[in-house]
Structure 1
Amino acid sequence: MGASDSKVTSQEKRFHIVSSDLPFDLETPVSTYLKLRDMGATFLLESAADSGRLGRYSFIGFVSGRTLSADRKKTVYRDGDRQLEQSGDPLSIIRAIIESTTVEANGHEVPVLLGAAVGYIGYDYVQFVEGIPIESTSTPLCQFHFVESLIEFDHFKRQMKVYSLVPESSDGKTDLHEKILCSLETSLPHRPKRTSAGGVKFSSNTSEEEYEETVNRAKRYIYEGDCFQIVVSRRLSAPCTADAFDIYRHLRINNPSPYMFYLDFGNRKIIGSSPEVLVKLTGRTALISPIAGTRPRSTDIRRDTELEAELLADEKERAEHTMLVDLARNDVGRVCKYGTVKVDGLMRIERYSHVMHIVSDVRGELLDDVDQFDLFRASFPAGTVTGAPKVRAMEIIDGLEKQPRGFYAGAVGYFSPTGDMDTCISIRTILVEDDTVHLQAGAGIVADSDPAYEFTETENKLAALKEAVKNSEGELI
């Protein structure tokens, strides 16, 4: 970190925890968020298993003042009325803030999200990782909230717990904590029925013909020996007047995934149901679970099983997946102890609403002198959204695609004061900004790729997102 970072590191924050236990047999994470979103609720995080069942925990986070936003040139950190602007890698600044935060447990269990930085990092962060110059966009490079209060839903115990950070100098609950408890006693706000706007019309930044030509250009790079694989994406955009949270509600119903998220940054919302972890750190164990290999789902069980067998027998898909597992092993191996990097559950199938994927797990034990931020940098961006070799693939992508990727193919997740981290790849993700929705999807191009097939793969990946946006324009039952 540079000398300018001293402005952040000098602001040490010391907190203790207060908590309140509540039953939630009459509440859901969605209904609770609707009650609380106007009083500082900034995100809802949920998870669903392969079967579509909701995971054990859901979380709603609150802030009253601590936020961070960065573009290519500067990072702006706001803490109440204070605003600090600094240059340099925004992750270094987040690290300084996290390291200057001390939470005294005082007998409380400390949730990893309390005091954590929760937000997104766009794909264009590659300029800090690999030095690849990226054109500026209006969307920030990254945005984070520093969690001051948290609602944890335990779906197994049917319990809801409210946690808050209290400054060391105070003995009582915070105003925010008390407001949350009071608001939980209220009824759901009235929501007038929506009248359909007459359908959503998406425009693409790349036509089908243009995309297929881009695939052929990527194949020429592969034939010439530049890469083994290049992931080429395309973006859809549409005007949309729907409540962004209704888009999330439809998406979580229609496409339940391991990482479901709704992040509210005011005029900018990040909504997603990502199937793929980017990198996760629990204790000192790192995890990457590359996804590569796709088939559409069928409503017929027998045909769906046939598609699974076809996918697992496809030599092209298996070779592509193996290459990306090796890339994940290399990424993890840069910051993990020698001999600890292992592959578990090689080439299993995971099913989602519109597609199925081949998935594997790569684990390793972190070196003693590295942390969550070092691991993130070593793993970003995921090879499954770039291709391999990663750096050359990114350089080619920058020349092939029509605009910077921005939010797409970056990361959504958290960095915790406990040292833990959990981030997913921002695929199956929607950006809502200034009454416009943006969706994006890509396909992995190899030497024998069929351009028409690869275009269809992007359509399959976009289907659940388009459906959620279109359905949100009408009444939600």
Structure 2
Amino acid sequence: MSIKQRFRTSMKKVNGDLLTPISIFQRLQGERKFLLESSMKYEGHGRYSFIGVSPRKTYRGEQEQLIDTSHLTNKNYTYEGELISLLKQVMPRISSHTEYPFTGGGIGYINALTNDLPELEFHVYDTLIIFDHLTDEIAVFHTNIEAEEVAPNIDAFIEELFANPTPQETTYALHTPELQQDGVYGATFSGDAFALYRKLRIEHAAPYMYYIDFDDCTVVGTSENNYLQVRDGTLSATDQAPSIERFCQGTSQTVNTIQHGNLNPTLHAIDVVKALKPAQGLIGYIGFNGQVDFTTPENIITITGNRAHIRTNQAGVHFEALMKG
């Protein structure tokens, strides 16, 4: 199939029934990989998985200082101010309308991890793989976010994806977990973090499941609930979030514990994220197209070196099921 060209965007779809999101992730070559999934067990979830590697840039923020790192030039740019407002200013915006909710943008967290990590961190991916579980199609998107950027060869990228062998099975181990504070455990970790993710997605399958490689840590987790989403102009938020009425054009309504309304077109989705972020933080994506999808960290493991910090919203998390894999 020929590549479709849109303004600043290239896309190609291929039959992907010989692959899975797990095997695609394992075959990708590069650094700072991520995988976002949703269990097919949950109605209304599970159609798409998103996979990426080698982000174009990274935004890291702490104490009103946001650092923009280009992985192409290895140059850093520093901005001063409120972090989420700065993130809104620097995140590329590309208008695109596709059947997919996310075709590229920032993957990361806001105030969601351990105290010794940045308050905010997002990798920005200009090339994205989307696996459609309904059609078994793979779509590869590339968005040119900078004028001098040379678009990758999508055909060659896909050919390598099918040609690369799937790595051998790996293992991991969590050793002697100890309660550090309410709901947070510490443990010694050894082995492969992705093997832990594969075990976690089985033992704690949920509508939100994620694996993200950051520079200082790797994050794996699952969450039952959407906290905040903006898609196709519709703002949705859990009823545990503050009222969304002031961000809507017209009235909002609550259906099955979810608030819904039409986002005021004068606002950006990041404005809502800034206003409604909960104390426990958020993890998810900000799309180039202005759409966002965030969950709160529920069952989340942050691995830094040989230490794992495990947060759970479940009393007496079943460590026995995760100790080895």
Could you tell me the TM-score, scaled by structure 1's length? Answer: 0.60
Contact 2:206 2:224 in 1 (8 A): yes
Cα distance in 1 for partners of 2:193, 2:146 equals: 37
Give 1:421 shift.
Answer: 0.9
Give 1:146 shift.
Answer: 1.0
* CA 42–176 in structure 1, closer or farther in 2 if over 3 Å, else same: farther
Alignment of 1:125-136 (within 5 A): none
Cα distance in 2 for partners of 1:41, 1:205 equals: 28
SS of residue matched to 1:190:
coil
Cα distance in 1 for partners of 2:215, 2:84 equals: 22
1:59 paired residue number:
50
* CA 69–46 in structure 1, closer or farther in 2 if over 3 Å, else same: same
Corresponding residue to 1:90 among 70, 80, 83: 83
2:168 paired residue number:
190
2:191 paired residue number:
242
* CA distances 1:342-361 after superposition (whole Å, capped 9, x unpaired): 1112xxxxxxxxxxxxxx21
Corresponding residue to 2:261 among 364, 377, 380: 364
Q: In terms of Rg, which structure is larger?
A: 1
* CA 278–146 in structure 1, closer or farther in 2 if over 3 Å, else same: same
Which stretches in structure 1 are left out of the alignment for 5+ residues? 1-13, 125-135, 207-232, 291-323, 346-359, 387-408, 443-456, 473-477
1:201 paired residue number:
176
Give 1:26 shift.
Answer: 1.4
1:435 paired residue number:
306
2:291 paired residue number:
420
Contact 1:15 1:167 in 2 (8 A): no
* CA distances 1:325-358 after superposition (whole Å, capped 9, x unpaired): xxx3x431232245x221112xxxxxxxxxxxxx
Contact 2:208 2:224 in 1 (8 A): yes
Give 1:430 shift.
Answer: 1.2
Alignment of 1:156-171 (within 5 A): 156-166=134-144
The RMSD of aligned alpha carbons is 2.9
Contact 2:210 2:222 in 1 (8 A): yes
Could you tell me the TM-score, scaled by structure 2's length? Answer: 0.86
Cα distance in 2 for partners of 1:52, 1:256 equals: 13
* CA distances 1:383-411 after superposition (whole Å, capped 9, x unpaired): xxx6xxxxxxxxxxxxxxxxxxxxxx211
Contact 1:59 1:152 in 2 (8 A): yes
1:470 lines up with 2:323 in the alignment: yes
Alignment of 1:141-180 (within 5 A): 141-166=119-144, 173-174=151-152, 178-179=156-157
Contact 1:260 1:273 in 2 (8 A): yes
Number of residue equivalences: 318
Alignment of 1:387-402 (within 5 A): none
* CA distances 1:184-206 after superposition (whole Å, capped 9, x unpaired): 32211234x65x76x62111124
SS of residue matched to 2:46:
coil
1:453 paired residue number:
none
User: What percentage of aligned pairs have identical amino acids?
Assistant: 24
Contact 2:12 2:154 in 1 (8 A): no
1:22 lines up with 2:14 in the alignment: yes
1:350 paired residue number:
none
* CA 467–261 in structure 1, closer or farther in 2 if over 3 Å, else same: farther
Instruction: Select the structure that is richer in helix.
Output: 1
Instruction: Select the structure that is richer in strand.
Output: 2
